[in-house]
Amino acid sequence: MASVAELKAAIDIALQQIGDGQSAVQAAGEKLAEAQQTLAGALEGSGHTTVEAAQASLTQASQELEECLAATLVAVEQAQQYVSTL
């Protein structure tokens, strides 16, 4: 069985990895927003269904990234609560 210090160290590493993941998700969200603006500008006035579908897909992807970030925040809170009980 791992010692309390080893558990805390492992959780700290996991929290850092989550933070790195959060940064990557935030960067991906920013790139998606840029892509969405670029696509909207390039295809302004086009009523083609594929353009609308592309925009809808980008919107969905952005929403899913936000959900991902929210889930990681909950995971961090739960891990921190556990550490406080050790």
Phi, psi (degrees; rounded to nearest 5) at 9: -65, -40
Q: Note the pLDDT of residue 78.
A: 96
Q: Note the pLDDT of residue 31.
A: 95
Residue 16: alpha-carbon gap to chain centroid: 15
Supply the pTM of this predicted model. Answer: 0.81
Q: What is the pLDDT of residues 16-63, one digit of tens each?
A: 999 999 999 999 999 999 999 998 888 777 777 888 888 899 999 999
